[in-house]
Homo-oligomer: A and B are copies of this chain.
Amino acid sequence: MNQNNKFKIALLSFAIMGGVMYGQSVVEDFKPGITTQQGKQYPQVNSEGRVRVSIPAPDAKLVQLDIGGKKYDLTKNAEGVWTGESAPQDVGFHYYQLNIDGASVPDPGSLYFYGASRWGSGIEVPSADQDFFALKNVPHGELHQTYYYSKSSDKVRMVYIYTPPGYTKDSNKRYPVLYLQHGMGENETGWGNQGHAGLIMDNLIAEGKAVPFIIVMENSSVNLPRGPRPNPQAAPPAGNAPRPGGGMNFAAEFEKILFNDLIPFVESNYRAIPNAANRAMAGLSMGGMQTRSIVIANPDKFAYVGMFSSGTFVPSEITDLAAFKKNGKLVFMSFGGREGGSARIGDAAEEWTKAGIKGISYISPETAHEWHSWRRSLYQFAPLLFK
């Protein structure tokens, strides 16, 4: 090989590398998705899972897309419109924002979701299995937004309640109830919006895979202590030991509201079956840890328990295991595959099965501590309930 050819090859290699490095290899099949506002062209996602945003900002010096913990510089065209894309993201839902000359703002083209303790932009990266929460021509349940008076907190509180298809028509049938909690920095709207809990249930019920039940979604971020953020990867505290979050029981305030106000409201205002055998509780991240705390303290109140990305739960954590076994049917634990924890929840599930209550563990493939893991967890969990 002569010097000239060596030079050509070096140049070619450099060009290819440069292409990759400078994003020239981006697949140009971007389109708006289910989280883009109707009639807006951006944000878009491509088949690689890259998120592309575009915003006119003629006088700005620097505009960035802030997603997945990284900031991506956008490029300005002659008309003053800034455009650019992120590296490929995991399938599913992600919070994001724009940065304009140092200001962090929502993308005016996206729908808005509550997470990270604020309403802001979210983007859905299509997934191979997204059909399980797709809007289809099947009988649909309803997501009710309503209010009830909580004596424990002396406040009128908002609650979201899913009722299954047929509930508003059929006037006699009574249904079991799942109390389903959000994560830290989220609220009672999460499962209904980005979680698509209603569509997941509608589709499962239409396919005959789940029995119809009511889902109650309330805000469990009540008087949380200011301690460190609970870590779902940490070993669970022992039965009566202090809970994560600075030394006090971080579920205590919500627990009061749940038993004194919320369950009585639901069971006297909806056609619920008002007993432990027909009551389930589950949650994601902090919500799953709260579920565990509440079940440990009240082992006779729920028959089904779900913890999504919330650590492990083992039988020895319940002092009065006999009380739990009277109605207890299932302990379900899950993690996103990128979170780890697989072996741990597998072992814990086995311990439950040995103890006489069905233990199930589930790992969501190639997702992290994020909504797609939790939608899939609900999709796995719901068919196991109330059968």
Contact = CB atoms under 8 A, between A and B. Distances in A.
Q: What number of copies of this chain does the assembly contain? A: 2
Contacts of A111: 119
Interface stretch (A124-132, A133-141, A231-239): A133-141
Interface stretch (A100-108, A347-355, A363-371): A100-108
Interface stretch (A58-66, A294-302, A377-385): A58-66
Contacts of A169: 268-270
Nearest to A155: B137
A169 B105 CA distance: 43
A10 to B, nearest CB: 39
Interface in A82-112: 97-98, 100-108, 111-112
B102 A58 contact: yes
B137 A146 contact: no
A7 interface: no
A252 interface: no
A85 B259 CA distance: 45
Quick one: which of A97, A106, A111, A120 has the most chain B CB within 10 A? A106
6 contacts: A57-B101, A60-B101, A61-B61, A135-B147, A144-B145, A144-B168
Interface of A: 37, 39-40, 55-63, 80, 97-98, 100-108, 111-112, 117-120, 135-137, 140-149, 156, 161, 163, 168-169, 171-172, 192, 198, 268-271
